[in-house]
Amino acid sequence: MTKSDRVRVHHILDAAKEAIEFLKDKSRKDLDADRKLSLALVRLLEVIGEAARGISPEFREKHSKIPWKQMMGMRNRLIHGYYDINLDIIWETVTKDLPPLVSQLEKILKKK
């Protein structure tokens, strides 16, 4: 793992953990009611996707079970489709997809 890849993996982990923490003790309705919360989660998902984009192709290939393309695709959708963001998808991503991603990335970092 290059130093650059390690830094970006840490960026992904930090953003994912923060997003998960932001939803601690929150309900789906809270996301609709709290504009600051929804904007914060969108931004953190953008950071995750941008960091994933910076990961080397070799690292992405070596760790092909990580959903690199989906993370980058989410970032692109949020940046370019900012006017039509589905908060159900944001909720699902943060509550269902990020916790296993955090576990996977932590395991990768422990190996190196």
Per-residue pLDDT tens for 60-85?
999 999 999 999 999 999 999 988 99
User: Given pLDDT bands bounded at 50, 70 and 90, which one contains residue 112?
Assistant: low
Q: What's the pLDDT tens digit per position in 20-33?
A: 999 999 999 999 99
Active site positions, annotated: 75, 80
What's the predicted TM-score (pTM) here? Answer: 0.94
The CA–CA distances, whole Å, from 54 to 47, 59, 65, 95, 105 equal: 11, 10, 17, 24, 15
Three-state DSSP class for residue 67: coil
The CA–CA distances, whole Å, from 77 to 24, 26, 27, 31 equal: 25, 24, 24, 19
